[in-house]
Structure 1
Amino acid sequence: MSNKAIILIGGPSKGTRFRPLSLDIPKLLFPIAGKAMIYHHIEACSKIPNMSEILLLGFFQENQLSSFIESATKQFKIPIKYINEVKMLGTAGGLYHYRETILQNQPENIFVLHSDICCSFPLGDLLRFHLENQRICTIMGTQVSKEYANQYGCLVRDENTLELLHYAEKPETFVSNLINCGIYCFKSQFFDQIGKTMNDIKAQQQLQLQQQQQNLIEYPEIIRKGTATENLRLEQDIFVPLAGTDSISVYLYNGFWRQIKNAGSSVYCQDLYFKHYREHKPEILKSGENIIGDVIIDPTATIDPTAKIGPDVYIGPNVKVGKGVRIVHSIILDSSEIKDHACILYSIIGWSSSVGPWARIEGIPNYTPFLYKEDKRKGITIFGSGAQACGEVIVYNCIVMPHKQLDRNYTNEILL
């Protein structure tokens, strides 16, 4: 039995909420808990027996991903390839368009994962559940508070048969507190169902086109609008009509889960990964006299022994941290410098940035776990690459564009 995995990574036009960090690096490569966002996905996929290949499907430029793919392929010893979509085809449309590549070597089970999620990726448990229930598709779901459920795809399942009975994407009223995690396991026959749905849609569009052509003859003032037959959404166009047809199972996941929709959510997801590491990978966490809680520090970083770091802090390669510095719940990216006695709280300091002595860079924590719309009053402070804060300034709840120099205090602003 061979297995294959596809990670849906989207492209630059979908990463606007991740700015200014996505101006320098594709969102999927941004480090969370010391590793690229999709490294966590790939690591989980690599642990599945008989995993023959991992495919990344999206529309980034190939040269933006080649170095990471080469490194990950060597580390995990599994072929990792990138499929560059020629145009945006939708989640199901992209899978179907490249089905011949995906189905090469006849994989029996195919994992599909969205890239912008954070969880423990229990793919082994998902696969066992999928094989036990013998439906063509299994969706991984998790339970959330009722007040947040309608911000996601809501699932209704039969608690006896575990079948998906109903699927509603971001419903206006409450449907269920069981939501779609964006992780699936398919049988290869699932592509037949996507093809059937696509043919049905094409037939409907052809009928609409004929009606529109007739309307143009009778009512020439009507403007005919074209439709994209290949653009199919996995959730709305496939899962919705398949619900209740005994085709889809729902696997209930009880661990941590969060979407990574905006740049600030990286800090909250990092906290979740750190808690997971404490239990499953304690050896990668740093310890020391002035280390508090869970911390990862790159070996090339230079940390003054009087600096106090943690909890929940990642410090990247070639970072310099001066005397008496305090860093809490933050991400400090490569080659940045935090000078003496500066304080960094709930912030992301971008690549090659500088924070002056006695400066205070602070965000406002917002731990509402499933908040789709941002609360403008609360947010992580983010420095784009090369940003500089002079000594003794306070930057509070701000987003700072790359290479901006701050020589006074700022509060609740986007600094262009």
Structure 2
Amino acid sequence: CPRFERPALLGGASTAASSSSAMKAVILVGGFSTQLRPLTLTLPLPLLEFCNETLLSHQLRALKDAGMSEVILCYHEHMVPKSWDAAIRELQDELGISITCSHEEQAMGTAGAIKTAEDLITDYGKNSNPFIVVNADVLCSYPLKDLLRAHVKHGRQGTLLTTRTEQPSHYGVIVSDERTGRVLHFVEKPETFVSDSINAGVYVFSPSVFARIPAGRPVSMNEVLPTMAHEEQLHSMLLTGYWIKLTTTSSFMEAVSAHLDISRFLSPSTLASSSNDVTIKGNVMVHPSAKIGRGCILGPSAVVGANCVLEDGVRLEASTLMEGARIQSHSLIKDSLVGWSAVIGRWCFVTSSILGERVNVEDTLLINSAIVLPHKNLDVNIRKAEIVI
């Protein structure tokens, strides 16, 4: 993944320059391992498997479908894992989309990050097309074509995607004109009801927005968007599909359930069906390379990753198995996430737990409400909430 750092490009040629007609998008990655631990102790958030495809791949596919030809990944992480560059190259080849990295020397905030990447986004001022911005920790149904059309139609500097929430007091809410979509103002964590619409973390901006963002210091979208609304330069579009912000492993599993529900209607061929040996209940996704034993019962809301092995009589419910996980015979896994190459012994009951990479659970154990860091061996029951370090 070619890295763009402003001082280097100011002094020399850019290998990332593209046509002035190119449609571009930005994914705001930020740091790699600040959320969803212990999973992100193994892989950075964008490379986590979500329904047997990386989170980044889901976002890149949506952006490509919306007509984007180049995507810029903005991050400030200095400890870049070895898997990062190889994964980006693989995604670039697989999807046929150009991917460039914009590396910040320090965390520049959600608006400061796109300011840092301004020259990449605008081809040094030659590209006047609007561009899409997506937060890396957001998963939704991505109505990006509609969002682009709405942006072009109203002709303002920015358009943000909004979603409704049942807990508006937990967020900053958006008050907008329901007839026109124009954003009127923002209210931070209101104590009384003023709106149930919140920022979904997906935007379209025109390049003129860069004049609003100070250079050389961290800047949040929360600093820029209210001013745009005050000057009548910000519109909104309400999302009608699902939306999840991936801040915890529980939100990750909620997103899996929502995505499987959507898959039932949009791509039912990706979901598994019962056979003579295996019973499928509800929405279940099984990677073609996985091996499922006789008498297994899977679902609802279950995902079995690549090269996983489920021995005879396994029950898997509302759970995700990452690549290479092995569940030995007659174990029950419920409301849990099992990490890469983890092994669950025979006749185990694992519930409401998160197991990191290469965790080993010995036979006949109860594991309840546990968060287990990678490479740990469990040989005793865990009956109440516990973090195994």
Same fold at TM > 0.5: yes
Whether the 8 Å contact between 2:35 and 2:45 is mirrored in structure 1 is: no
Give 2:53's match in structure 1, choosing from 32, 35, 53: 35
Shift of 1:63: 4.1
CA contact (8 A) 1:163 1:246 kept: yes
Partner of 2:5: none
User: Please, which runs of 5 or more residues in structure 2 have no aligned partner?
Assistant: 1-20
Give 1:57's match in structure 2, choosing from 74, 85, 88: 74
Q: Deviations over 1:198-232 (max 9, x none)?
A: 28xxxxxxxxxxxxxxxxxxxxxxxxxxxxx5111
Q: Say whether 1:302 aligns with 2:320.
A: no
SS in 2 for 1:87: coil
SS at 1:162 equivalent: coil
Alignment match of 1:391 (pick from 356, 359, 363):
363
1:169 Cα shift?
3.9
Query: Which of 259, 264, 268 pairs up with 2:245?
Result: 259
Preserved contact between residue 342 and residue 357 of structure 2 (Cα < 8 Å): yes
Is the 8 Å Cα contact of residues 143 and 179 (structure 1) preserved in structure 2? yes
What amino acid maps onto 2:225 in structure 1?
Answer: F
For the residue of structure 2 that corresponds to 1:392, the secondary structure is: coil
- The letter for the 2-side match of 1:403 is H
Amino acid at match of 1:117: V
**Contact 1:264 / 1:382 at 8 angstroms: preserved in 2?**
no
Q: Spell out, residue by residue over 1:151-209, the C-alpha distance to the aligned partner (whole angstroms, 9 max, x if none).
A: 22311112233211102344455442111000000111111222xxx28xxxxxxxxxx
Tell me the CA shift for residue 17 of structure 1.
3.7
For residues 273 and 128 of structure 2, the distance between their equivalents in structure 1, rounded to whole angstroms, comes to: 43
Answer yes or no: is the 8 Å Cα contact 1:396–1:412 preserved in 2.
yes
Q: Which residue of 2 aligns with 1:376?
A: none
TM, length-normalised to structure 2: 0.89
Task: State whether residues 388 and 405 of structure 1, in contact with CA within 8 Å, keep that contact through their aligned partners in structure 2.
Answer: yes
Structure 1 ranges of 4+ moved more than 6 A: none
What does residue 86 of structure 1 align with?
105
Could you tell me which of 21, 31, 46 is aligned with 1:11?
A: 31
TM-score, normalized by length of structure 1? 0.83
Name the amino acid aligned to 2:60. I
Q: Secondary structure at the match of 2:320?
A: strand
- Secondary structure of the 1:150 match is helix
Alignment equivalent of 1:233, drawn from 215, 220, 226: 220
Matches within 5 A, 1:234-383: 234=221, 236-289=222-275, 290-363=279-352, 381-383=353-355
Number of equivalenced pairs: 361
Alpha-carbon contact 2:104-2:116 (below 8 Å) kept: no
Say whether residues 1:177 and 2:199 are aligned partners: no
Q: Does 1:414 align with 2:360?
A: no
Contact map agreement 1:32 1:267 (CA 8 A) in 2: no
Alpha-carbon distance in structure 2 between the residues aligned to 1:275 and 1:85: 37
Please give the per-residue CA displacement for 1:262-300, whole angstroms capped at 9, x wherever unaligned.
123211101111111111111111212312222221222
Question: 363, 371, 374: which is aligned to 1:402?
Answer: 374
CA contact (8 A) 1:140 1:250 kept: yes
- The answer as to whether partners of 1:2 and 1:109 remain within 8 angstroms in 2 is no
User: 1:223-277: CA deviations, max 9, x gaps?
Assistant: xxxxxx511101x210122222110001111111111001232111011111111
Equivalent AA in structure 1 for residue 71 of structure 2: I
Give the structure 1 partner of residue 206 of structure 2. 187
One-letter identity of the residue aligned with 2:364: E
Residues 342 and 359, structure 1, Cα contact 8 Å, conserved in 2: yes
CA contact (8 A) 2:138 2:243 kept: yes
What RMSD over aligned residues (CA atoms) do the two structures have, in Å?
1.6
**Quick one: which amino acid aligns to residue 390 of structure 1?**
E
Paired letter, 2:75: G
Residue aligning to 1:204: none
